[in-house]
């Protein structure tokens, strides 16, 4: 606001020539920089320069009601902010030479914008006693004159409306309003200011302004208005009520500022921000889509790897229990927090396997015991078993187990679920050869895992692969049981022979279901000798087993006739070659003579078989590698030797003789020598007093310990202790 120099001088004379307290206020700092003697008497403790608020507190200024002036309602604060004050009544705590304590004082303050030098940044404040009516009226007249001139000259649009007339019409506008809106004073005076509104003016803002005017309250809004030529502009409108001496609102002063440029900049900035936000959102969405696609690819790859690994691991064993546990180990934790596999035999007998990611073996063992209750009619597991259709159950609670279908075990099962965890459950059938052989239940526990249709499809695929492997293992177990029964039926019951202790063992191979050609025999002969036989027909099928039975019977006949070991094997070889009984066979036939006498004697012949081992009473182990000839089924003349060789030796009482087939000494990954050395060590460590059965038991346990996968060949053992 720019004041005419003459007006400033006149106002200054009124203030300085009258008995008034006068201050100069620095507009930049908001500090009182000068106080005349009367002002010093009002605030004697204030040390200049001092903020206007502190000077006001030091003077104890109060308004007409007696309330201390605050920072928001103090005329000094408004003056320091550059606003003119044309007259407000206050009182001071102290008296001055010209005024009494709490005498009403009239405050007049104006910026000295037309001053020279430093005064241009100052405001003049005068405290005039109201009893000096002439000075007050003069100062107020000068201030009003100055305010009128300033408003008229201002570049800010001002309007005054008459609140006492209907519809609050305009009674005065300044030239800046005419210039900003394009409306002349003649066309707008007597009209309400709503002519500035248009089609895009915000009705809510208009309603707020209307409520403020009706309530006699100030209002401030930014709204879209329209000029006389129809162009729109953004108008920052401030409306202030002016009250009369009776407190009633007489007029409203409107201050209107064209802020179109600012709004357009803000809109452009907002549009730019929105565009940037949209681009960022699009980038984030694209990144999220890429990450989701990558995650889906990783999940798919993991699932394919799981299915491939399942096929490999399950087909690598023909033991049902091992395959079942491997399936549970594969499912947890990749597909489930815990899993239960139920296999149902042809007679309806269930076998249950389980695995939990946190172990919980004791709880799982009890669950396995009670699990058959979940197979009763009316349960989900029973339905999947009967229909072969998978099931996906979500948002389960333990109460789902407390049903009449489950019965009494349901309460205990529901309690165990609190430990095991229960969320969603997938139940898929194991279907092999058009028959449901079991169900696999995958349970989401406390990890927060969820299931969907894709998870159900993966579980169903895993179940299909597992079902075939498990059914193959079950068929193998049944066939192997039949084969073992057949094999054992072809082997003799070892008789009791005076002067000897004997023990025989047959162990079928675990990596196939076919019968084999291994056999042993103990023959009490008519002349008092005892025939000892261990042999192996090449092959692992029914033909080998049948040939083994025939060779065993033929050799028994020749031995019964009293033929010696070499002669008996030669005659056996002739039968095999002539009748095509078998392709090839290995065999050791020994005649133990004088059993039970002080001087037992052993004669033997070996047709391509492992030499028997002899443990003498002093603990030494000897291989009876003499009498070695070609295998049964091969012409002996091919070796250039006429007649099959034979060997003999005296056997001291207390000696132990061990005959065996190659399954005992052959090891996967190791040579036969390592197996032979282990057998020799076990035989050397054997105490003959423990009997032959202890020896065969030690050898079979050793074989089981070294062959964890149970994939050894057929084994025949014949142990004889000479008494």
- What ranges make up the beta strands (E) of 230-368? 232-243, 249-258, 338-344, 350-356
Q: How far is residue 76's CA from residue 55's CA, in Å, rounded to a whole number?
A: 9
If one compares 222 and 515, the residue with the highest pLDDT of the two is 222
Angle at 213 between CA 211 and CA 219, to 5 degrees: 85
Q: Given pLDDT bands bounded at 50, 70 and 90, which one contains residue 310?
A: low
CATH topology of domain 317-481: Beta-Lactamase (3.30.450)
Q: Given pLDDT bands bounded at 50, 70 and 90, which one contains residue 16?
A: very low
Which residues are paired to 602 by β-bridges? 592, 649
Q: With a cut of 50, say whether residue 684 has pLDDT above it.
A: yes
Q: How far is residue 532's CA from residue 559's CA, in Å, rounded to a whole number?
A: 10
Beta carbons within 8 Å of 690's beta carbon, 6+ residues apart = none
Q: How far is residue 566's CA from residue 548's CA, in Å, rounded to a whole number?
A: 19
In percent, the amount of the chain with pLDDT more than 70 equals 85
Q: What is the mean pLDDT of residues 40-60?
A: 93
What per-residue confidence (pLDDT) applies to 8? Answer: 45
CB 556 within 8 A of CB 521: yes
- Sign of the dihedral through C-alpha 44, 45, 47, 51: negative
Q: What top-level class would CATH report for the domain 5-153?
A: alpha beta
Superfamily classification of domain 157-258: PAS domain (3.30.450.20)
Q: With a cut of 70, say whether residue 711 has pLDDT above it.
A: no
Q: How far is residue 234's CA from residue 232's CA, in Å, rounded to a whole number?
A: 7
CB 630 within 8 A of CB 636: yes
Q: Given pLDDT bands bounded at 50, 70 and 90, which one contains residue 346?
A: confident
Strands 338-344 and 435-443: antiparallel
Q: How far is residue 571's CA from residue 563's CA, in Å, rounded to a whole number?
A: 9
Do the two domains 5-153 and 157-258 of this chain adopt the same fold? yes
What per-residue confidence (pLDDT) applies to 109? Answer: 87
Phi/psi at 626 (nearest 5 deg)? -80, 170
End-to-end CA separation in angstroms for the chain? 138
User: How many CB atoms are located within 10 Å of the residue 650 CB?
Assistant: 10
In sequence order, which ranges of 316-379 are alpha helices (DSSP H)? 320-331, 361-370
Q: Given pLDDT bands bounded at 50, 70 and 90, which one contains residue 450?
A: confident
pLDDT tens, residue by residue, 417-436? 888 888 889 999 989 888 89
CB 149 within 8 A of CB 4: yes
Phi/psi at 567 (nearest 5 deg)? -65, -45
If one compares 420 and 713, the residue with the highest pLDDT of the two is 420
Q: How far is residue 481's CA from residue 354's CA, in Å, rounded to a whole number?
A: 26
Tokens of 187: 């066309």
Q: How far is residue 591's CA from residue 572's CA, in Å, rounded to a whole number?
A: 16
Q: With a cut of 60, say whether residue 2 has pLDDT above it.
A: no
Q: With a cut of 50, say whether residue 523 has pLDDT above it.
A: yes
What per-residue confidence (pLDDT) applies to 531? Answer: 97
Angle at 36 between CA 149 and CA 88, to 5 degrees: 45
User: Which has the minimum average pLDDT: 140-154, 350-364, 456-470, 516-530?
Assistant: 140-154
Q: With a cut of 80, say whether residue 710 has pLDDT above it.
A: no
pLDDT tens, residue by residue, 599-628? 999 999 999 999 999 999 999 999 999 999
What per-residue confidence (pLDDT) applies to 147? Answer: 47
Tokens of 484: 């073992």
pLDDT tens, residue by residue, 181-213? 999 989 999 999 999 999 999 999 999 999 999
SS3 content of the chain, % helix, strand, coil (to 5): 40, 25, 35
Q: With a cut of 80, say whether residue 527 has pLDDT above it.
A: yes
pLDDT tens, residue by residue, 161-182? 999 999 999 988 888 899 999 9
The three-class DSSP label of residue 155 is coil
Sorted by where each begins, the domain ranges of the chain are 5-153, 157-258, 317-481, 491-722
pLDDT tens, residue by residue, 555-600? 999 999 999 999 999 999 988 888 877 778 999 999 999 998 999 9
Domain 491-722 of CATH type 3.60.40.10: yes
Helices 453-490/542-560 angle, 10° precision = 20
Residue 372, Cβ density class (10 Å: 0-12 exposed, 13-18 middle, ≥19 buried): middle
Q: What is the mean pLDDT of residues 111-124?
A: 70
Tokens of 490: 């072809």
Half-sphere exposure of 676 (CA within 13 A, CB side): 13
Q: Which of 518, 558, 551, 523 is nearest to 534 (CA)?
A: 518
DSSP annotation of 632 reads: B
Q: Given pLDDT bands bounded at 50, 70 and 90, which one contains residue 74?
A: confident
What per-residue confidence (pLDDT) applies to 313? Answer: 66
CA distances from 492 to 553, 557, 695 (A): 11, 15, 20
The three-class DSSP label of residue 225 is strand
Average pLDDT value for the chain: 84
């Amino acid at each position: 606001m720019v004041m005419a120099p003459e007006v400033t001088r006149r106002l200054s004379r009124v203030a300085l020539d009258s008995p008034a307290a006068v201050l100069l206020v620095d507009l930049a700092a908001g500090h009182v920089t000068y106080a005349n003697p009367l002002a010093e008497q009002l605030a004697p403790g204030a040390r200049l320069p001092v903020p206007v608020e502190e000077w006001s507190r030091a003077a104890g200024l109060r308004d007409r009601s007696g309330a201390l002036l605050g920072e928001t309602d103090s005329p000094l604060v408004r003056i320091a902010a550059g606003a003119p004050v044309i007259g407000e009544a206050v009182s001071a705590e102290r008296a001055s030479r010209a005024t009494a304590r709490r005498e009403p004082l009239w405050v007049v303050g104006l910026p000295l914008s037309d001053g020279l030098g430093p005064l241009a940044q100052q405001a003049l404040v005068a405290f005039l006693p109201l009893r000096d009516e002439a000075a007050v009226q003069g100062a107020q007249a000068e201030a009003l004159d100055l305010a009128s001139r300033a408003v008229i000259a201002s570049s800010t649009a001002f309007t005054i409306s008459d609140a006492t007339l209907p519809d609050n019409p305009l009674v005065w506008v300044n030239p800046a309003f005419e210039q900003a809106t394009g409306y002349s004073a003649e066309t707008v005076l007597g009209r309400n200011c709503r002519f500035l509104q248009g089609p895009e003016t915000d009705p809510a803002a208009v309603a707020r302004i209307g409520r403020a005017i009706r309530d006699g309250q100030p209002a401030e809004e930014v709204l879209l208005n329209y000029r006389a030529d129809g162009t729109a502009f953004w108008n920052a409108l401030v409306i202030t009520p002016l009250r009369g001496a009776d407190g009633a609102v007489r007029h409203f002063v409107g201050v209107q500022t064209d802020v179109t440029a600012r709004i357009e900049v803000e809109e452009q900035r907002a549009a730019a921000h929105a565009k940037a936000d949209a681009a960022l959102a699009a980038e984030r969405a694209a990144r999220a889509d890429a990450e989701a696609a990558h995650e889906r690819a990783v999940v798919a790859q993991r699932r394919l790897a799981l299915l491939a690994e399942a096929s490999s691991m399950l087909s690598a064993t023909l033991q049902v229990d091992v395959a079942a546990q491997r399936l549970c180990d594969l499912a947890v934790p990749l597909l489930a927090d815990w899993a239960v596999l139920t296999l149902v035999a042809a007679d309806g007998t269930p076998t249950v396997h389980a695995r939990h990611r946190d172990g919980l073996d004791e709880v799982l063992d009890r669950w396995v015991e009670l699990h058959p209750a979940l197979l009763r009619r009316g349960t989900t597991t029973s339905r999947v078993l009967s229909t072969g259709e998978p099931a996906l159950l979500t948002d389960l609670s333990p109460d789902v187990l407390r049903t009449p279908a489950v019965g009494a075990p349901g309460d205990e099962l529901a309690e165990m679920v609190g430990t095991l965890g229960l969320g969603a459950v997938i139940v898929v059938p194991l279907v092999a050869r058009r028959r449901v052989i079991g169900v696999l239940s995958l349970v989401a526990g406390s990890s927060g895992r969820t299931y969907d249709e894709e998870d159900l499809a993966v579980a169903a695929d895993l179940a299909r692969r597992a079902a075939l492997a498990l059914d193959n293992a079950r068929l193998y177990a049944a066939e192997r049981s039949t084969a073992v029964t057949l094999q054992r039926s072809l082997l003799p019951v070892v008789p009791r022979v005076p002067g000897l202790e004997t023990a025989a063992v047959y162990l079928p191979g675990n990596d196939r279901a076919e019968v084999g050609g291994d056999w042993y025999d103990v023959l009490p002969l008519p002349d008092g000798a005892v025939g000892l036989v261990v042999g192996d027909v090449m092959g692992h099928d029914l033909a080998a087993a049948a040939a083994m039975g025939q060779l065993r019977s033929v050799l028994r006949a020749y031995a019964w006739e009293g033929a010696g070991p070499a002669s008996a094997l030669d005659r056996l070889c002739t039968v095999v070659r002539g009748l095509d009984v078998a392709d090839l066979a290995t065999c050791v036939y020994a005649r133990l003579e004088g059993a039970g006498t002080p001087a037992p004697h052993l004669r033997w012949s070996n047709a391509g078989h492992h030499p028997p081992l002899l443990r003498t009473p002093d603990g030494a182990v000897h291989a009876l590698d003499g009498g070695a000839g070609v295998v049964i089924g091969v012409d002996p003349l091919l070796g250039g030797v006429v007649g099959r060789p034979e060997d003999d030796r005296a056997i001291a009482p207390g000696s132990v003789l061990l005959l065996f087939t190659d399954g005992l000494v052959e090891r996967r990954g190791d040579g036969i020598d390592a197996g032979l050395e282990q057998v020799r060590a076990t035989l050397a460590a054997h105490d003959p007093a423990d009997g032959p059965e202890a020896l065969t038991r030690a050898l079979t346990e050793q074989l089981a310990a070294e062959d964890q996968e149970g994939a050894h060949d057929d084994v025949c053992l014949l142990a004889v202790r000479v008494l």
